[in-house]
Amino acid sequence: MGKSESNQPLLHFAILHAAQDNFGAAKLWIERYSTLYGTSSTQELLAASISGAKSRTAAELIRFYKTYPGGSMIERYHLMQGGFAADFDFAEFNREIGTKGNLSGMIRHWVMRDKAAAWEAVKQNLASGDGENTRPFSNFVDGMVAANGELEGVRWIIGKLDELPKGQQERYAEILARNIRGEEAIHTAAAALSGQDRMEFVANILKTHQNPDTVFSALETLPRENLFITLAENWNADGLSIGSTTSYERELDRHEFQLQLDARVRLLTGALDRFAFTADERVRLQKLVDDSRDDP
């Protein structure tokens, strides 16, 4: 073992604590450590810098971003973990750093302190050049649900959806569907949406949820003429069947695969009992069930 290798644990320990207390003073040591042991070896040191900065002030975290430009997985992860100072000024950080910072990492915590200000930041983010990145909106939904409960969180967000930039309504609906689980909240969201937005939301509930009562509470909000096509196209969005061999299915444990398929089939057969389909629709839906069970 060379001298630098034998000194690595002690050097790492010393820089780790220095970075948490004063990342500016530790910067040269972090760069030296990276030269000696590789860039990947500095991830824990940068994480310590973030933890220390956010536990003090927004100004400190701003200084970190200006010293080490953001964008890595490590900084997003550690912003998501919380640990912000009680008086951390999220608005100041967002003004200074904007889309260069990882809004998605901290938005969940900002929501819990000031949802109106956090919402304005999400809207600005979606309207910016990074608008295709909907992760801040997803984490906003998550934070609202955590802070206010599903039902109140969903009601607030639904009332604000028209303020978001147009063109990604399908994605917004998908995010809502993935972030709420309760039957009442799902029914409330579906009923409050209209037109294509409701169709997209219900389709995503059907794709991502397995509890029949939860799914049916969303399906019940659809106009009768949309019920059959939505169910037929989305009940088994992954195309699960006994005889198919997609890469997705090959990766699944056989037992887990069977459980997923059985859950999908229960949804469709339950819908046949729950809703008043025409004779032709019932035949076509039953065929979907039968085809998924065939083993060629």
The residue assigned the tokens 């912000």 is: 84
Q: By the 8 A CB rule, do 88 and 54 touch?
A: yes
Tokens coding 42: 């500095």
Angle at 3 between CA 39 and CA 29, to 5 degrees: 40
Q: pLDDT truncated to tens, each residue of the chain (296 aa)?
A: 444 566 788 888 888 888 888 877 788 888 888 888 877 677 788 888 888 888 999 999 888 888 776 555 556 656 777 789 999 999 998 888 766 566 777 888 999 999 999 999 998 888 876 545 788 888 899 999 989 999 999 999 999 988 988 877 778 888 899 889 899 999 999 999 988 889 999 999 988 888 899 999 999 999 999 999 999 888 875 655 554 555 555 555 667 777 878 888 888 899 999 999 999 999 999 988 888 776 44
Instruction: Report DSSP state, residue 194.
Output: -
User: What pTM does this model have?
Assistant: 0.77
Q: Where are the domains of the chain?
A: 1-84, 223-296
The residue assigned the tokens 């069930």 is: 289
